[in-house]
Amino acid sequence: MEKILVTPRSLSKGGHPALEDLRAAGYEVVFATPGQQPNDAELMEILPECCAYLAGVEPVSGDVLRKCSKLKVISRNGVGIDNVDLAAAEEMGMSVEKALGTNSRGVAELAITLMLSSIRSVPFSDRHIKSEGWERRKGFEVEGKTLGIIGCGQIGKYTAKMALGLDMKVMAYDLYPDSSFNPSDDFSYASVEDIFAQADIISLHCPPGEKPLIDASVIASMKAGVFLVNTARAGLIDEAAVVAALESGKLAGYATDVFSKEPPEPSALIAHDKVITTPHIGGFTTESVDRATQTAVDNILKVLNG
């Protein structure tokens, strides 16, 4: 019986009904360490015996993939594939599939949650009351404020519509702007430079590049007191530059759902009292997990069935 490895933490710990489609098709479903990201050593031990791989956000190196001559398909239960060595996958003739659009609403809702939690200092207030304190930070209302969205794909579009529902103005940048998306007179496409210069809040929804998008020079071009939200990738920001900007007051707050290593090591960024952190839960909703898992399973069977 051919094997299919399943590694997303939301699945390896509790399974999912959609995985029964793989078993019904005659495959054995095997799991990595429950609830944890597998490392190279664990993948090297399991993956070479598998014909398919339902992958999470763990790094998948070329060294591992080149040992996997049986592997035909890597199917992500999300849209990010920057963690996969795509050159090695192509070299080995492996198909790399994405679960497009399946977690978009969940991630967008979390982005809005983090935005509002930041500007109203919700975690800070909660911590102080629980420690028998009573310290208040003044927030502001979002009506008429400008949200800058970097990356206006499906997640960015959902985020834009939610922000518009809060009576915000929205400026969005996308490498390939969708001219058919025009949800309101308060929405416009703009350059990244204009967004950095004008936005009161910036939300990141784009893949990382070779160097951080948000570095000291970019932060210097922003308005004073900007809030930054990152539900995309940790590599989009220069951590030291963000910490320095939080200390100086140039950034009023930073909220992130993503880390270069998960779980992350302790750091000045994570410990900062103007930083909100969540453990990569953007797509971790009942609805998003259901959609993403079913799509990832369907993509595996599509490839294996030719």
Alpha helices in 199-285 (DSSP H): 216-220, 239-248, 268-271
Task: Identify the CATH homologous superfamily for domain 3-102+285-304.
Answer: NAD(P)-binding Rossmann-like Domain (3.40.50.720)
Alpha helices in 191-262 (DSSP H): 192-198, 216-220, 239-248
- CB within 8 Å of 276: residues ≥ 6 apart: 114, 117, 118, 123, 253, 254, 255, 256
Q: Which of 28, 42, 109, 262 is catalytic?
A: 262
Q: Which of 205, 233, 239, 291 is catalytic?
A: 233
Q: What percent of the chain has pLDDT over 90?
A: 94
- pLDDT of 14 reads 81
Task: Please tell me the distance from the alpha carbon of residue 246 to that of residue 28, in angstroms, as a whole number.
Answer: 50
Q: Give every residue of the chain whose pLDDT is below 70, as ranges.
A: none
> What's the farthest any 2 CA atoms get from each other in the chain?
63
Concerning whether 23 is annotated as a catalytic residue, the answer is no
CA distances from 183 to 159, 189, 251 (A): 12, 11, 29
- pLDDT of 35 reads 85
- pLDDT of 196 reads 98
Q: Where in the chain is the domain with CATH 3.40.50.720?
A: 3-102+285-304, 104-277
- With 0.85 as the threshold, say if the pTM is over it: yes
Q: Which of 76, 105, 280, 291 is catalytic?
A: 280
Burial 81-93 (b: 16+ CB within 10 A, else e): bebbbbebbeebe
CATH annotation of 104-277 = 3.40.50.720
- pLDDT of 13 reads 85
Q: What percent of the chain has pLDDT over 70?
A: 100
- pLDDT of 285 reads 96
Q: Which two tokens stand for residue 150?
A: 């970097």
CA distances from 232 to 258, 278, 300 (A): 7, 12, 25
Concerning whether 280 is annotated as a catalytic residue, the answer is yes
Concerning whether 265 is annotated as a catalytic residue, the answer is no
